[in-house]
Amino acid sequence: MTVTCADCGATQAIPDLPAGGTAECHRCDRLLARRSATGNAIAFACAIAVVILLPFAAFLPLMGSTIRNIVFGESRLVTSVPVIYSEVWFPFAFGFLFFALLFPWVRALLEVIVLSGWHVWQRGRLFRWAEELRIWSMTEVVVIAGLIAYFRAGISATVGVQTGALCYIAVALFTWIGDHALDRRGVWNSILPDTTEYPRRHYASCDSCELAAMARRSGDPCPRCGSRLDRPVGPRFVPAAAAVAAALPLCIPAFSAAIMVNNNLAGVLEHTILGTVQFLADRGYWQYGVVVLLAGVALPIVELVGMIWLLARVRFPETHGLVRRTRVYRVLHRLVHWPMVIPFIAALAAPIIKFHGIDEIVAGPAATPLFAIVALLMLAVRLFEPKLMWKTAGVPAS
């Protein structure tokens, strides 16, 4: 079948794959197809499990806490939202609600509808939206943040894991398995088969489902997923650059102000991100300190520098190293949501340790700028198209 690589725009024929076989773009190594041995049964089962379990994970108690069995506290994922709302800036509260709960649930629901094989209206569009939500669903980030919040809270009080947390861990696990088991090319082909004609001419092609459309013109809607064929990528450069530029000045408050404020009988402790690393290390949890250091400090810097480099290479094109830069983009795309772990730690630890006047953790003023930095970087990575680098460097489409 003939497909057009979404990353570099090369139209190419790929052979029918044996079970377990993969096909990569001949020019930029993008994974174009992976045929699973079991079809999409595993992905379908995982999506159903997520749809059922996620409401339980949201509403059942997440963690319980007590100080010497005198005062007790309990948190739920849904109660984290109003707590963040009351303590910090409201977009962060909505961000948590969407990234941790709503987007993963909607995505799983869309996958259930698409994979069930029912002939629903606009099935291709539904699958495109499910794929679009992938970068915005952060179940694995929430699990890691919850783990660190658990140990951080354990320094102040005795903390117990409850049913909601177990449900959420299961949700993250099923999401991960389903993601890796999904045969995307197979799903697209079940909606509308790829072109079989050998590519000898230019096809108007879709950069969402990689369809090389036979009898369509540039600008037409994609017959399979409803996106626009040969969508112009140029206009996305300025918004992507603007998002990176907006993230830069926010680094000052994010790294200098306190991410967590701890009011206890001994006084008020304020921890910046680096202070949290030291605090965890001092109490013997150095391995979690390393996670915070990597996700909270190293990764945002890598993402910022990486995006600036790629954007600069669109402005000052260079044919040499295009493949390497496309690979760098894919790594940035995969890692961009991990720094969200830091504001989520603050969001999850705050409702557990809420013993007014005795011991209390509050998300600090740095949580909001850090959240904004990560959200802007995600937006920049999403808006940026590696195809822009190929186009401005003057590499032909096939």
Which residues bind to Zn ion, rule: CB under 5 A? Answer: 5, 7-8, 10, 25, 27-28, 30, 206, 208-209, 211, 222, 224-225, 227
> In whole angstroms, how close is the CB of 355 to Zn ion at the nearest point?
54
Q: Quick check: 204 and 217 in contact, CB under 8 A?
A: yes
H and E: helices and strands count for the chain: 16, 13
Query: Quick one: which H or E segment has residue 252?
Result: helix 237-256
Nearer to Zn ion, 40 or 208 (CB): 208
Q: 263 pairs with which residues across the strands?
A: 268, 360
**E-assigned strands of 70-220?**
71-76, 158-161, 204-205, 212-213
Amino acid at 302: V
> In whole angstroms, how close is the CB of 390 to Zn ion at the nearest point?
8
> In whole angstroms, how close is the CB of 218 to Zn ion at the nearest point?
13
Q: Quick check: 241 and 262 in contact, CB under 8 A?
A: no
> In whole angstroms, how close is the CB of 169 to Zn ion at the nearest point?
35
The Cα 344–Cα 80 span in angstroms is 10
> In whole angstroms, how close is the CB of 4 to Zn ion at the nearest point?
9
Burial class (CB in 10 A: 0-12, 13-18, 19+), 334: exposed
Nearer to Zn ion, 8 or 133 (CB): 8
Nearer to Zn ion, 227 or 264 (CB): 227
The Cα 162–Cα 27 span in angstroms is 49
Nearer to Zn ion, 228 or 382 (CB): 228
Nearer to Zn ion, 184 or 224 (CB): 224
Q: 270 pairs with which residues across the strands?
A: 261
- Tokens 């903390």, residue located: 159
> In whole angstroms, how close is the CB of 92 to Zn ion at the nearest point?
34
Nearer to Zn ion, 222 or 307 (CB): 222
